[in-house]
C-alpha cells in the first residue's frame, strides 16, 4: 500500500494542543481531488492543506474540509509554512498559488508566518437582526446594542464571512447556534460562515474576541480562523471602528469556547496581513486511498 507523510500542526499558537488544528500533506503532487478529499475526511480537522508544485508561484496549496474543497484557509496556510520553516525554509517572502490567486507569505526569523490576503470587498446585508439572533442563539438586543455604526456585512479577503458584532463577552459565550439555521443564513448571503465578535476581550492587549460558525463547509465551530480574522480586521477599518487612530496591529482572540485558545495578529497597513505561529504536534503517514479511474491525476 502506498503511504504519504502527513502532519497535524496547531496554528495561531506556540503551545501544543491549542489553537486551530490543520492537517498538512507536504507532498500532495499526484493526488486526485477525490484522494485529497478522502484524506481530509480521515484527518477530521477543519481543513487539511495539500502542498503541490506550481507553474506561477513557489508553491501551490489546495485546502479541503472533511466534506469539501475550499478556496483559501488561513490557519492551514500558517500551519503549513510554520512546518516548512521548521524543515529549513529560510525566512523571507515566498509566493503561494491558491484558488483565489497568488498570495505573498512572509516567514519571519522567529517562525511567525504572515499571509497577505486579497483586497477586501464589503457588502452590507439586510437579513434582519431577528433572523441572525435566532440562528446564533443570542438575544436580539445583544446584537442591536453593539450596532452603533457597525452593520451586518459580508466581507471577504479571499473567503466571504458574515461579520456580526455583539455587545458583551458573556453574550458571545452564551450563544447557542442553530447549525441548520446558520447554514441557511450563510447560503442566503453567499458567505462561507458567520463571525460573531465583541470588543469585550479577555486580555487588555486584545482588540476583540470572536467565534466562527461554518456548518455549510462541514465546520460547526472553527477554533481560530485566519481568513475570517483578516475579514473582520478589514471590516473594522472600513466602517470606522478606530476613528482616525488605526492600531499598528490588531490582536483577535478565538477558540476559548471550544478549549482551543489561539490569537491572530492582523495588520492593515496597505494590505490585509494575517499572522501567527504554528506547532507540529503529530508527524506520521497515511495510506493513500485508491484513485478514481475516471479522474485524471494532477501533477
What are the catalytic residues? 47
The SS3 of residue 226 is helix
Number of Cβ within a 10 Å radius of residue 191:
26
The SS3 of residue 184 is helix
Q: Round to whole Å and give the CA distance between 197 and 95.
A: 31
Do residues 175 and 211 touch, judged by C-beta distance below 8 A? yes
Phi, psi of 89 (to 5 degrees): -65, 125
Q: What is residue 256's DSSP assignment?
A: G
Q: Round to whole Å and give the CA distance between 214 and 216.
A: 5
Q: Round to whole Å and give the CA distance between 194 and 215.
A: 10
Q: Round to whole Å and give the CA distance between 279 and 261.
A: 14
Sign of the alpha-carbon dihedral angle for 240, 242, 248, 252: negative
b/e 98-127 (16+ beta carbons within 10 angstroms → b)? bebeebebbbeeebbbbbbbbebeeeebee
b/e 73-95 (16+ beta carbons within 10 angstroms → b)? bbbbbbbbbbbbbeeebeeeebe
Amino acid at each position: 500500500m502506498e503511504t504519504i507523510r502527513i502532519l497535524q500542526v496547531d496554528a495561531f499558537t506556540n503551545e501544543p494542543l491549542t489553537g486551530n488544528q490543520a492537517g498538512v500533506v507536504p507532498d500532495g503532487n499526484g493526488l486526485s481531488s477525490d484522494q485529497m478529499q478522502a484524506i481530509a475526511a480521515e484527518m477530521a480537522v477543519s481543513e487539511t492543506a495539500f502542498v503541490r508544485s506550481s507553474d506561477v508561484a513557489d508553491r501551490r496549496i489546495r485546502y479541503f474540509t472533511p466534506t469539501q474543497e475550499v478556496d483559501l484557509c488561513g490557519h492551514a496556510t500558517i500551519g503549513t509554512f510554520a512546518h516548512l520553516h521548521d524543515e529549513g525554509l529560510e525566512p523571507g517572502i515566498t509566493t503561494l498559488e491558491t484558488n483565489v490567486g497568488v498570495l505573498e507569505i512572509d516567514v519571519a526569523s522567529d517562525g511567525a508566518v504572515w499571509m497577505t490576503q486579497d483586497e477586501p470587498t464589503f457588502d452590507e446585508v439586510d437579513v434582519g437582526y431577528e433572523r441572525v439572533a435566532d440562528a446564533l442563539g443570542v438575544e436580539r438586543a445583544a446584537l442591536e446594542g453593539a450596532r452603533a455604526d457597525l452593520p451586518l456585512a459580508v466581507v471577504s479577503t479571499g473567503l466571504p464571512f458574515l461579520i456580526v458584532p455583539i455587545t458583551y463577552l458573556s453574550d458571545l459565550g452564551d450563544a447557542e447556534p442553530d447549525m441548520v439555521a446558520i447554514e441557511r443564513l450563510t447560503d442566503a448571503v453567499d458567505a462561507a460562515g458567520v463571525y460573531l465578535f465583541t470588543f469585550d476581550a479577555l486580555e487588555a492587549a486584545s482588540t476583540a474576541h470572536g467565534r466562527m460558525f461554518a456548518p455549510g463547509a462541514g465546520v460547526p465551530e472553527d477554533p481560530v480562523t485566519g481568513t475570517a480574522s483578516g475579514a473582520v480586521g478589514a471590516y473594522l477599518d472600513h466602517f470606522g471602528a478606530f476613528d482616525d487612530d488605526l492600531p499598528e496591529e490588531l490582536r483577535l482572540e478565538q477558540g476559548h469556547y471550544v478549549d482551543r485558545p489561539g490569537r491572530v495578529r492582523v495588520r492593515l497597513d496597505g494590505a490585509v496581513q494575517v499572522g501567527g505561529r504554528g506547532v507540529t504536534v503529530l508527524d506520521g503517514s497515511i495510506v493513500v486511498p485508491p484513485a478514481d479511474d475516471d479522474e485524471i491525476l494532477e501533477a
